[in-house]
Amino acid sequence: MSREIAVLQLKNNPNYAKNLEKIKNYINTLPKDAIILAPEVCLTDYDYENLDKACEFSEVALKELLSLVENQIVALTLLRKIDGKFVNQAVVLHKGKLVHTQNKHKLFKLGDEHLFLEAGDGKEIKIFEIDGVKFGLLICFELRFKELWQKLDGADIILVPSQWGISRKRHLELLGNSLAVVNQCYVAVANSSKVDMASSSAIYAPMGGVTIDDASECIKGVLDFKQIKFMRRYLKLS
């Protein structure tokens, strides 16, 4: 079994609507059963000065995206207001439904996230299944925590929507590749291409291979799930 994947490497526009149009365009033009991963808060950025406005737009955008997504699997994070608290929430869309949500658990204090957002409790970081594929998801800074890798042991693919700074670019590449090798799975990283961000969006394979292109806005690949079975039989780690 195999499945096409597209990792978006986007430079956010201050105009929320233009960011949404770009995502919608990719949904409309990419293969109808592709997995599509977009960077962290790609629609509104971390617009702390306008959090209520950003969250209101997220709700409008979510409804529009749900109306477009059929057999594709689309993952991104949104600024949302849940029970009166602001969160950075990963959403996974499939067949017009919200099939998985996950609030960012490990907030990045160097970026003051903890001053504006409520951290998730981490219970949502778990394997979830869509069309027979086992998914896991980590949001940006969470990629650094080995105990979270263990929670996703057994996943076929781990999605990482991110806004990772350029000064730690090499860390992002090393961690993404290492997670794929250690968990013997695919890892897809969609990172922002803003000037101060690392780009380094990539698709890492369980045998250590990588598809990466800092110059591209859309990095495409094919997930060959036979590779996962091969690696787990060839090198049994448990």
Average pLDDT over residues 50-66: 98
Give tens-digit pLDDT for 167-197: 999 999 999 999 999 999 999 999 999 999 9
pLDDT for 155 equals: 97
In the three-class reduction of DSSP (H, G, I as helix; E, B as strand; rest coil), residue 234 is classed as: helix
Tell me the average pLDDT of the chain. 96
Average pLDDT over residues 209-227: 96
pLDDT for 229 equals: 82
Residues pairing with 96 in the sheet: none
pLDDT for 234 equals: 65
Average pLDDT over residues 7-33: 97
The yes-or-no verdict on residue 90 having pLDDT over 80 is: yes
- CATH number 3.40.1410.10 given to 2-234: no
Average pLDDT over residues 118-137: 97
- The DSSP element (H or E) to which 67 belongs, if any, is helix 51-68
pLDDT for 238 equals: 64
Three-state DSSP string of 78-120: EEEEECCEEEEEEEEEECCEEEEEEECCCCCHHHCHHHHCCCC
Is residue 121 very low, low, confident or very high in pLDDT (cuts 50, 70, 90)?
very high
What is the sign, positive or negative, of the torsion defined by CA atoms of 111, 112, 113, 119?
Answer: positive
Q: What is the distance between the terminal CA atoms of the chain, rounded to a whole angstrom?
A: 24
